[in-house]
Homo-oligomer: A and B are copies of this chain.
Amino acid sequence: MFDQWAARSTADGKDYKARVESLREQLLQQQFALADSGRSVILVVAGVDGAGKGVLVHRINEWMDPRRIETNTFWDRSNEEDERPYFWRYWRCLPASGYTAIFLGSWYHTPIQQRVDGEIDAKAMRTVGERIRIFERQLSAEGAIVIKLWLHVSEETQREQLDESAPQKRQNPRVTDRPYELHGKYKSTLRAAEELVRQTQSAECPWHIIDAEDRRSCELTAGEIILKAMQSPPTAATAAPLPPSPGNDYLAAVALDKRLDRDAYKKKLDRYQARLQDLVWQAYRDKRSLVVAFEGWDAAGKGSAIRRVTAALDPRLYRLNQVAAPSDEEAAHHYLWRFWRRLQRDGKATLFDRSWYGRVLVERVEGFASDREWQRAYEEINEFESELVAHGNIVAKFWIHISPEEQLARFRAREKEARKRYKITEEDWRNRDKWPAYAEAVNQMVDLTDTEHARWHLIPGNSKHYARVRILKKLCETLEGALG
């Protein structure tokens, strides 16, 4: 396949110089424009060992402004990376808007190698391909320019390039110290790569196969592909149209009259906290991470319910994140980036007081996200949670529901109590006025993101006692179900 596909530029010495000169100027110009556009460039440079990937990346850094380029390699997998979902190591290297990140070694490397080594079969490879398509589509949908280059050389050229006696090879410990995982496996590598390249070919994130037999031609071709991609206007993200809302009113179905008297509360609280403590230790020993999103109406008792959960946990085993407005670093990245970056190492729990669901709740209702943005978020959120679960994380999501009357009573009580007055702001009253819009958003969120691997639990919150015990119970059940 690659043989037929490979794009190739021809250029003799003089022509080369002139074309490079013009290319450089235009690339610099595009890089400069990028800084203002709010977009970023994600450049994957792949190919068999010896295809000249390193040399090409060196040239790109020379042609462009290296201060706005970050080159990422993944030679030494760290245990911090291994102990998170697969794409975490790539998410954390994603460029901020205005920047270019080159991935030399990328999310493609491991599956190709595993396929060559027979560790995964064609079916598993298709699954990997699908997950990669999703990852790249998510990036591209938020405005990243994703460019994927495969440098193609013949088996003979590879053999020459990898010849360890060549003087320029002696430096690189990849050449001198390590086994070539793929060396001597040219044909099977190409077969595996073709498989994955086919599966991850897409209009938004296309692969470009480049004939890399001739260094100059390869560089020119690559440079021109990058330039063209940077010049292209953002493609209107083709969001899957939202399914027609079935109009389910999940909130109305919540049994708000549930109550728990003080004695029963104390007893049950103790029981479930003890059980949860055990289960979280077990999760730690099993290296399974619990990821919990807490959502709910203002004054629903989210904070105090979370305290009943954390009270049951060894503080060494969890991290609680309070989600408010993004920092400027976070705002310069994909909206899911700030949740990816918070994920703890395997075995530790990550709790979110408000979460990624803000996209389809407050951001939707307040207009902070465009229609297209929040509408495509349901799918993206399901995909995000799938990635967590695929790695072995255990995901639980809570919406604490109260009636508008109960909320009003709590607001008034807070205003009276000096210690809690700070908890009630103008914004809370404004949000309250938008109750129906929020209710619609919550119902649709449950419709579209209540998945088998990441269930929504709607918690009756008019009785705080009942809500707290209910959350603890659901957490225990979720953990028990997952830990077996």
Contact = CB atoms under 8 A, between A and B. Distances in A.
Contact of A32 (B303, B329, B422): B422
Contact of A315 (B32, B71, B173, B278): B71
Contacts of A79: 76, 78-80
Contact of A328 (B76, B277, B328, B345): B328
- With most chain B CB atoms within 10 A of its CB, the pick from A61, A303, A419 is A61
Nearest to A28: B419
Contacts of A307: 62, 66
A367 interface: no
Contacts of A172: 281, 314
Given A76-B79, A76-B345, A316 B70 contact: no
Given A67-B322, A69-B320, 13 more contacts: A25-B419, A32-B422, A58-B311, A58-B314, A62-B311, A66-B306, A66-B320, A75-B316, A79-B79, A79-B80, A80-B80, A171-B281, A173-B285
A327 interface: yes
A73 interface: yes
Contacts of A131: none
- With most chain B CB atoms within 10 A of its CB, the pick from A75, A173, A314, A319 is A314
Contact of A327 (B57, B71, B310, B329): B329
Contact of A80 (B62, B78, B316): B78
Contacts of A275: none
Nearest to A77: B79
B310 A61 contact: yes
Interface residues of A, number: 49
B322 A70 contact: no
Contact of A322 (B58, B68, B322, B422): B68
A71 B351 CA distance: 13
A147 to B, nearest CB: 16
Interface in A125-156: none
Interface in A70-116: 70-71, 73, 75-76, 78-80, 102, 104
Nearest to A316: B73
B67 A315 contact: no
Interface string A226-266: 00000000000000000000000000000000000000000
A58 B78 CA distance: 30
A269 to B, nearest CB: 13
A186 interface: no
Nearest to A311: B62
B327 A67 contact: no
A26 B314 CA distance: 24
Interface string A328-342: 110000000000000
A54 interface: yes
Interface string A343-380: 00100000001000000000000000000000000000
A284 interface: yes
Contact of A57 (B75, B76, B315): B315
B75 A353 contact: no
- With most chain B CB atoms within 10 A of its CB, the pick from A171, A277, A329 is A171
Nearest to A102: B315
A61 B171 CA distance: 52
* Ranked 7 nearest A-B pairs via Cβ: A171-B281, A71-B315, A67-B322, A73-B316, A78-B80, A327-B329, A66-B310
A48 to B, nearest CB: 17
Contacts of A25: 419
A67 B345 contact: no
Interface string A276-291: 0110011011000000
13 contacts: A54-B316, A57-B315, A58-B314, A67-B320, A67-B322, A69-B320, A73-B316, A75-B316, A76-B345, A78-B78, A104-B316, A171-B277, A171-B278
Contact of A58 (B71, B282, B315, B327): B315
A376 to B, nearest CB: 27
Given A79-B76, A80-B80, A311-B62, A70 B319 contact: yes
Nearest to A353: B67
Nearest to A281: B171
Interface in A157-216: 171-173, 177
A215 to B, nearest CB: 16
Interface string A299-320: 0000100110011001110011
